[in-house]
Amino acid sequence: MIVKQSDHSANALLVIPEDADDLFTLRRVIAPGDYAIADTTRVVKQESDYGRPDRGERIKVRLTIRVDRIELDASVDRLRISGTITHTSNELVSKGVHHALSVQAGDILTIDKGRKWQDVELKLLKRSGDGSSFILVAIDTQEAAVAKVTGTHVKIIPNIYSGQQGKRYPTKNPSLDSFFADTAKTVGSVLSEGDRIIVFGPGETRRRFYNALDRNGLPKERAQVVDGVDVAGEDGVFVFLRSPAMKDAMSASKLATVSAMLDQVMLMVNRGENKYAVGLKDITEAANIKAIEAIIFSDSVFKTAEEDAVVKLLNSVESYGARTYAVDSSTDIGLRVSLLGGMVALLRYAMR
């Protein structure tokens, strides 16, 4: 997430969420009573003295609303901020009426707390902006899949096919050079400054693609080849994310951290140790006595728990130094968390 000081006021910050994790971070820091400022559209109807109002015209306008409700729609990666309009850049839009802002990744939003920001709020925003991203390339002579890992969120781009014999959907040019160029172009479309590229797959194709990075305009110094994952395409991405090679190649990533923590929980389960808690109820009890060391949760927790209760719990444990990690329930790690009730915690000491 991009975070900058806003010139709106001394208590205002301009934020640009970059992925689903950033949207959830905003859900945690925006509270009723805050002011949200954004460019949006609104339908304005012109009324006449002797006729019906027309169907209206949708105009662009910058609105300031006093927030009264915040909702996260994880299914479409969108944050909905509702409230009353307090300021408008167009006099055709009335103050005092209700409006809802829809915020997605890439949108610009200004948040004015009307007070000094709390340390825990600034910590959440700063941490959300520090996440490292990795571009995964699972490739062989017939197909390649490209995925971007940001935090614990994985976005996979559909397979690219070389046209070599054995695939149902051949391309016009079966040359590996053009296949490498197409794959590199896809990598370049999602590569940001500071991202690292990890290449893997069966045979020697992964090394040949790695050696071709320079001539295809990609930074070879930010790439590495990983051995031990002999599957290409989308299946190869999922195999890599479950493999020990992922923990080695992405040791500094949130995904590797969360994977290691889940392995630690399963080890404690097998040993009969009680330094973990599962489910919102037990974790809330542990949080009340400040026994939480870290919490991992997936978006599936919102199917059985109130969103406000989850946000309150996460913010409370962050305030005394515990760590929190959100995972996507569509990934392998997210599914593991979902099977544990959607939320699991490591404890500082055993409770029972």
> pLDDT for 224-246, tens place per residue?
999 999 999 999 999 998 888 88
Same structural domain for residues 234 and 280?
Answer: no
Same-domain check for residues 137 and 178 = yes
**CA-closest candidate to residue 39, choices 142, 119, 94, 108:** 108
Q: What's the rounded mean pLDDT across residues 108-132?
A: 84
Do residue 176 and residue 291 come from a single domain?
no
Is 259 found in the same domain as 244? Answer: no
What CATH number does residue 318 fall under? Answer: 3.30.1330.30
Q: Does 49 map to a domain? A: yes
Q: Say whether both 39 and 98 belong to one domain.
A: yes
The reported pLDDT for the residue numbered 54 is: 57
For residue 169, what is the domain's CATH number?
3.30.420.60
pLDDT digits (tens, 9 = 90+) for 55-68: 667 788 899 999 99
- Domain boundary (249, 266, 282) is at 249
**Residue 18 belongs to domain with CATH number:** 2.30.30.870
Q: pLDDT-derived band of residue 163, with 50, 70 and 90 as boundaries?
A: confident
Amino acid at 45: K
The mean of the pLDDT values for the chain is: 86
| Domain end point (choices 128, 148, 178) | 128
For the chain, the domain total comes to 3
**Per-residue pLDDT at 48:** 55
Q: What does the pLDDT average to over 158-184?
A: 73
> In the predicted model, what is the mean pLDDT of residues 324-335?
82
The stretch 138-145 carries a mean pLDDT of 94
Question: Helix and strand tally (H, E) in the chain?
Answer: 10, 16
**Tokens representing residue 206 in the block:** 């992964």
85 vs 64: CA distance, rounded Å: 6
Does residue 25 sit in the same domain as residue 118?
yes
Same domain, 10 and 104: yes
d(CA 256, CA 247): 5
Cα(305)–Cα(109) distance, rounded to whole angstroms?
28
The answer to whether 28 and 40 are in contact (CB under 8 A) is no
Same domain assignment for residues 262 and 338: yes
Is residue 53 predicted with pLDDT exceeding 60? Answer: no
Cβ atoms within 10 Å of 91's Cβ, excluding its own? 8
What's the token pair of residue 222? 């930010």
Identify the CA nearest to 140 among candidates 168, 161, 169, 158. 161
SS3 317: helix
Q: Does the pLDDT value for residue 156 go beyond 80?
A: yes
Report residue 46's pLDDT band, with 50, 70 and 90 as the boundaries.
low
142 and 188 within one domain = yes
Q: Which residue, of 225, 249, 273, is where some domain finishes?
A: 249
Does the residue 6 lie in any domain? yes
Q: Is the pTM of this model over 0.75?
A: no
* Residue 352 counted as domain residue: no
Q: Does 15 score more than 70 pLDDT?
A: yes
Range of the domain at 175: 133-249
Instruction: Let me know whether 12 and 105 are in one domain.
Output: yes
The rounded distance, in Å, linking the Cα atoms of 73 and 79 is 6
Are 49 and 143 within one domain?
no
Helix pair 119-128, 307-319: axis angle to 10 deg: 100
Assess whether 139 and 97 both reside in one domain. no
